[in-house]
């Protein structure tokens, strides 16, 4: 499952904060592999984890996890 919409904002914000993947993982309470999977778009975090990641980078969930636009079925 490749969700490229989240790739750039999470990785970009982490780099702006000058955090390594390991540092962000420790601050959010997850493994480095989880951060890697989120940045690659292979894993969509739970709302709770998204909040923890956003707080660790002093930003909002909306700023780093941008959902793809969806249309309602006709």
Q: Does the pTM of the predicted model rise above 0.75?
A: yes
**In this structure, CATH architecture of domain 4-64:** Orthogonal Bundle (1.10)
Residue 60 C-beta-side C-alpha neighbours within 13 Å: 3
Domain spans of the chain, in order of start: 4-64
Nearest to 11 by CA among 31, 41, 33: 41
pLDDT in tens, the chain (74 residues): 454 445 568 999 999 999 999 999 999 999 999 999 999 989 999 999 999 999 999 999 999 987 766 666 66
């Amino acid at each position: 499952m490749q969700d490229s919409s989240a790739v750039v904002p999470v990785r970009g914000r982490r780099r702006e904060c000058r955090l390594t993947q390991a540092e962000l993982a420790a601050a959010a309470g997850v493994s480095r592999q989880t951060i890697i999977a989120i940045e690659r778009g292979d894993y969509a975090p739970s709302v709770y984890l998204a909040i923890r990641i956003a707080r660790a980078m002093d930003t909002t969930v909306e700023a780093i996890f941008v959902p793809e636009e969806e249309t309602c079925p006709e």
